Amino acid sequence: MSNKLLEINNLRTSFRIGDKYYAAVDDVSLTVNKNEVLGIVGESGSGKSALAFSIMGLHTKARVEGNIFYKDQDIANIAPAKLNKLRGDDIAMIFQDPLTALNPLMKIGDQIAETLILHKPEMSQKQRKDRVIELINLVRIPRAEYVYEQFPHELSGGMRQRIVIAIAIANQPDLLIADEPTTALDVTIQAQVLDLIRELKDDLNSGVILITHDLGVVAEMADRVAVMYAGQIVEIADVHTLFENPLHPYTRSLLNSVPAEGQDKLHVIQGVVPSLQKLPRNGCRFAARIPWVDESAHEENPELHEVEPGHFVRCTCYSHFYFPDESKEAQVHGNS
């Protein structure tokens, strides 16, 4: 039996700005397997959330092209009613900000019960309440009966995020998409929430897409990592390879922006991801941020190349890349 849960082929998600459509996700292809965490990293504006929302079918006004196969069913192109059934049942999402994900006027217990009413209408009221209590316990919030009756503002940020997780896992989804699930939390609570996601993945044998800009979180949690820049995946590899042998200039820059033990110098590439309207649509999208790399090093229509099994890099410029304050000679001889 196939281990593959999700297969995305050539996904393009475009937003209408003025009278034109601009792609925020462009030519993205990836897979997620059972019991696997795929980390997606990239700086703000690189298209991570647009990708997650496209998988969930939540971009009602965007133009979504390409295929998103969930267990052989193309969910990018199915009837909204069918997608509604899958969403929250088979595929669930943990949103970045629990305050906006939760209804401030609704009791915690009722909010968790809502997803059960929608997806498990056969449950009796008693069964539903028992399951909600079980879920609150599962996300390790003490005094579940009491919390059932509380409102979101009465809980701490960490507890609210656990409630969001309880809602996401209520129907034991096969695929969990977590969009910056710990950004709003302090470090200790962050570690607890990540532990919880990992345990749930193991218990349910689910696949997880973990979106983050925090490389520490990726190193800790992910089995494989996709690096996004300006709407495209520029590098994808298993986590060990990505950290040990990063190739794309953008990946190298991201990794170099995190201070490591014994490293005396950070090589950080200046600049930001361009806005959708200003994005170059032909050629290597990162070229403008590495002007010292010769133009001829870039491909006209850069594609992902498999440089070793399972390790893909976009644009051949990686083989000519060096940090401006490193000697070009050192890079050429592989001593960077």
Question: Which residues would be at the binding site for ligand ATP (CB under 6 A)?
Answer: 15, 17, 24, 42, 44-50, 213, 275-276
CB of 295 to ligand ATP, least distance (A): 25
Q: Say how far apart CA 291 and CA 256 lie, in whole Å.
A: 18
147 or 215: whose CB is closer to ligand ATP?
215
Relative to beta strand 311-314, strand 63-70 is unpaired
40 or 200: whose CB is closer to ligand ATP?
40
132 or 234: whose CB is closer to ligand ATP?
234
DSSP code of residue 101: H
Relative to beta strand 4-17, strand 20-33 is antiparallel
The CA-CA-CA angle for residues 59, 271, 54, to 5°, reads: 10
Residue 192: C-alpha distances to residues 141, 201, 279 (Å): 12, 14, 38
DSSP code of residue 336: -
Query: Using an 8 Å Cβ cutoff, are 44 and 232 in contact?
Result: no
49 or 251: whose CB is closer to ligand ATP?
49
Q: Say how far apart CA 170 and CA 120 lie, in whole Å.
A: 10
Q: Say how far apart CA 74 and CA 212 lie, in whole Å.
A: 26
CB of 50 to ligand ATP, least distance (A): 3
CB of 17 to ligand ATP, least distance (A): 6
53 or 312: whose CB is closer to ligand ATP?
53
141 or 279: whose CB is closer to ligand ATP?
279
CB of 181 to ligand ATP, least distance (A): 13
CB of 170 to ligand ATP, least distance (A): 25
Burial tier of 142 (Cβ tally within 10 Å: 0-12, 13-18, 19+): exposed
C-alpha atoms less than 13 angstroms from C-alpha of 324 in its C-beta half-sphere? 9
Task: Please name the amino acid found at residue 311.
Answer: H
CB of 195 to ligand ATP, least distance (A): 23
CB of 319 to ligand ATP, least distance (A): 27
Closest CA to 99 of 162, 160, 40, 35: 160
Look at the block and give the residue holding tokens 């302090």.
Answer: 186
46 or 111: whose CB is closer to ligand ATP?
46
Give per-residue burial for 120-141: e unless 16+ CB within 10 Å, then b. Answer: eeeeeeeebbebbbebbebbeb
3-class state of residue 177 by DSSP = strand
CB of 276 to ligand ATP, least distance (A): 5
Relative to beta strand 207-212, strand 175-179 is parallel
213 or 305: whose CB is closer to ligand ATP?
213
